[in-house]
Copies of this chain bind each other. A is one copy, B any other.
Amino acid sequence: MARAATTSDPFNAVAEPRRRQILTFLAADERDVSEIVVAVGLDQPSVSKHLGVLRRVGLVRVRRNGRHRLYRTNAAALKPVHDWTETFERLWRHQLERVKERAESQMNPKPPSQ
């Protein structure tokens, strides 16, 4: 089989750097498409397609205002990604602690325990 559809879930949606860039850009305020086009430096149809993907997985919300469409990030849809990585947080904290301990024992060496 080929690669899974990027439209299927937030993990795939945020795998694309441009889409992460868009989500960051839309995190603070709502913006229309032309502003996003300027911000990411792609042409308009490409941006619209990225917005389509983000829309389908619920990562952005749209509101019409006359001819403009105002997009904004729907951060809640990122929670599954955050939660999944969170389950590994304890592991890397342990790991970093071990690294830190090793560094400290280098600075202030203890004799090897018999």
Contacts and interface: CB of A to CB of B under 8 A. Distances in A.
Contacts of A20: 11, 84
B82 A96 contact: no
**Taking chain A's interface residues, is the majority helix, strand, or loop, or is none over half, making it mixed?**
helix
B3 A3 contact: yes
Tally of this chain's copies = 2
A15 B12 CA distance: 5
20 contacts: A4-B15, A4-B16, A4-B17, A11-B14, A11-B20, A14-B15, A15-B15, A24-B87, A74-B95, A75-B89, A75-B91, A75-B95, A76-B92, A76-B96, A78-B85, A78-B88, A82-B82, A82-B88, A82-B89, A85-B85
